[in-house]
Structure 1
Amino acid sequence: MPVGTEEAAELEAALTAAEAAAPVPPLTRLAPILTGVTARLDTGRGFCLLRGLPFDRHGAAAAEAALLALGQHLGKPLDGNGSPVARLTGPLPVEDGHGSRPPNFHIEACDAIALLCLANAPDSPPHILVSAGAVHNEVMRRDRAALAELYRPAALLEDGELVERAVFTMTEGAFAARYTRAAVEAAAAAPLPGAPPPSAGLRPAFDLLDTVCAEPALLLKIEPRPGDLLLFNPHLVWKRRTLVDSPADAPEAPQEFRRLRITMAHSRRTVAEPG
């Protein structure tokens, strides 16, 4: 989704102000575009790539301030480890969905994730997205019994606490999906009082889910350029992790990204996960 010259100039002014430690001016020209982005994340394809923005021209600190200002137009940014904006670097080995380990997806408890590219080496691995809805439908086509298992809540560990959640949910007409295999297996490996064991059919259902998530026909590969902003709804689009959280004072890496997690007024997370 390319951004126009006037909108890019508005962001340039915001970045210049942030670089000078001045207040970031309102993003009035970008606001209608961001409204459209919100709709696309919630009721559209679940992701959006904004291209043509000058995020990478004024230093990391200015880019982080402008990203935070932009995120406030989409919803409420979430704090994490003392700052809403996290530094991610790479590259990391890319899981192919086969072998002993399942693919590693983003499963943050938020409604949108913004990934800002500040640097990306030419030989860096692509970022891979898969539609949770497309995965759901392919599992249904291959094995309806396995799909039923993935709709049943299973005990899992989340932030050290025991909760129960299904991979797929449909509440009040709102579809949501979270990939939970690692958390379910962690709960099964260290059972807590009151934790029900996973059903016998859950492991084969997860195996099928992993197979489907590796199907080339379902994968979208994106190669971000410096200045690109990728936004996605982790309840509709699953993105494989190719980056790791890094300290702010760590050396520069071939891949430099910034992540912002956002909650929105209408949340599939809260609809699908009451309480």
Structure 2
Amino acid sequence: MTTARASISRAEGPAVWTGAELQNSDDWIYHLSASQIAELDEALKHAKGLGLPLKDVTLDDFPLRAFGNDLARLSDEIESGRGFVLIRGLPVDEYSAEDAGLIYWGIGRHLGVPVPQNATGDLLGHVRDLGGREGRMIGKNASRGYNSNAGLAYHCDGSDVVGLLCLKTARVGGASTVVSTGAIHNKILDVRPDLLEVLYDDFPQDFHGEQPEGYPKYNWSPVFANHLGQLSSRYVPSHIRGAFKNYEELGGLSGEKLEALDLMDRYANELALSMDFERGDIQLLNNHTTLHSRTRFEDFDEPEKKRHLLRLWITLYRGRPLPAGFGRNPGYVDTTGARGGLPLSA
């Protein structure tokens, strides 16, 4: 798909912000109260009593009365507001890793439907250093930034929302950064509108070998698309640059396409908001309106102390309409109605 260039206009609304505007504010942090933690404990006890596999635990299996209403409002903030929230104060040290994961899953089910994150179909992913390096595989899964200790380029993930629960922090580094793609869009519009037009054209998106049998090795999607008056973005530089590098028929990355991607990276770095994870933090980001990154980190030597986050990719119950062919997996919807994620079968 290619979005008509004539439709380009300035992005507006609460999803357009800069890190400088938010850095001294904490109104994007939602602090859990003692009563909400007690409600989560009750829901945990109920869900465990059902004896279900994690993947089969639904919204109804993890009942949250008062807090469920707040999560609905936070979902609206993620989709129609600023595009991200940080829920702070889950006492992860008081739970086993399994119980913390079930609480996190239950919160996620109040927002939407989890989707697969890799070729093996993981719904609750583990973000930790497994020695991942570009171009390698870890089992059936492509080695990606989340299984390394490397600093990451600004990117989005393959779902409506990406969530991270911090179980353990690194010894040094690993700061999380988030940037508004609407702010990047407007900055490029101000300084190089010709290159913004390029970003509305289709770019190849490499599957890095994780596509199921019968799928192409890459597909096409624009970085920016305006659909029904709403700006959405899809930017994973390793997928785009990797496709141009890996497939000769694409002719290499040069000229205005390279300039446009370089400018995208530049303003992502300049306009971002930085935050340090604390144990028990849950970060929720809209992949259609934000990009995120992470600084390089150094881990503890002791295995039990190493940095460890849990990740969810979520299809929102009340997510935005997207144009046909937009994203890494255009048109993919699984049997639950969830969109995005990594398709496991053709």
Flag whether TM exceeds 0.5 (same fold): yes
1:40 and 1:56 mapped to 2: Cα distance?
Answer: 28
Q: Percent identity over the alignment?
A: 28
2:164 and 2:296 mapped to 1: Cα distance?
Answer: 11
Q: Could you tell me how far 1:117 is from its partner in structure 2?
A: 0.8
2:238 corresponds in structure 1 to 182
1:94 corresponds in structure 2 to 151
1:204 and 1:224 mapped to 2: Cα distance?
Answer: 33
1:153 and 1:183 mapped to 2: Cα distance?
Answer: 13
Q: Could you tell me how far 1:14 is from its partner in structure 2?
A: 3.4
Alignment of 1:62-77 (within 5 A): 62-77=99-114
Q: Could you tell me how far 1:113 is from its partner in structure 2?
A: 1.0
2:259 corresponds in structure 1 to 204
Q: AA paired with 2:38?
A: A
Question: Which is further off, 253-262 or 196-205?
Answer: 196-205
Residue 262 (structure 1) aligned to one of 314, 335, 339: 314
1:267 and 1:84 mapped to 2: Cα distance?
Answer: 19
Alignment of 1:219-238 (within 5 A): 219-238=272-291
Secondary structure of 1:118's aligned partner: strand
Does structure 1 conserve the Cα–Cα contact (< 8 Å) formed by 2:44 and 2:62? no
2:307 and 2:255 mapped to 1: Cα distance?
Answer: 41
Structure 1 residues 85, 176: CA separation in 2 closer, same or farther (over 3 Å shift)? same
Alignment of 1:57-206 (within 5 A): 57-80=94-117, 81-90=120-129, 92-95=149-152, 103-105=153-155, 107-121=156-170, 123-158=172-207, 159-160=210-211, 161-191=217-247, 200-206=255-261
Does structure 1 conserve the Cα–Cα contact (< 8 Å) formed by 2:179 and 2:291? yes
Does structure 1 conserve the Cα–Cα contact (< 8 Å) formed by 2:165 and 2:283? yes
Structure 1 residues 119, 18: CA separation in 2 closer, same or farther (over 3 Å shift)? farther
Secondary structure of 1:188's aligned partner: helix
Secondary structure of 1:9's aligned partner: helix
Q: Could you tell me how far 1:104 is from its partner in structure 2?
A: 4.6
Structure 1 residues 36, 261: CA separation in 2 closer, same or farther (over 3 Å shift)? same
1:29 corresponds in structure 2 to 66
- C-alpha deviations, 1:95-118, integer Å up to 9, x for none? 5xxxxxxx252x322111110011
Structure 1 residues 227, 190: CA separation in 2 closer, same or farther (over 3 Å shift)? closer
Does structure 2 conserve the Cα–Cα contact (< 8 Å) formed by 1:235 and 1:269? no
2:36 corresponds in structure 1 to 7
Q: AA paired with 1:211?
A: R
The total of aligned residue pairs comes to 259
Secondary structure of 1:260's aligned partner: strand
Structure 1 residues 269, 4: CA separation in 2 closer, same or farther (over 3 Å shift)? same
1:99 corresponds in structure 2 to none
Question: Which is further off, 47-56 or 263-272?
Answer: 263-272
Does structure 2 conserve the Cα–Cα contact (< 8 Å) formed by 1:89 and 1:253? no
2:102 and 2:96 mapped to 1: Cα distance?
Answer: 10
TM-score by length of 2: 0.67
Does structure 2 conserve the Cα–Cα contact (< 8 Å) formed by 1:177 and 1:236? yes
Instruction: Report the RMSD for the aligned CA atoms in angstroms.
Output: 2.8
TM-score by length of 1: 0.83
Does structure 1 conserve the Cα–Cα contact (< 8 Å) formed by 2:150 and 2:296? no
- What are structure 2's unaligned runs of at least 5 residues? 1-29, 53-60, 130-147, 212-216, 332-346
Q: AA paired with 1:164?
A: W
2:172 and 2:243 mapped to 1: Cα distance?
Answer: 37
- C-alpha deviations, 1:105-149, integer Å up to 9, x for none? 2x3221111100111146333111111111111111111111111
Q: Could you tell me how far 1:253 is from its partner in structure 2?
A: 4.5
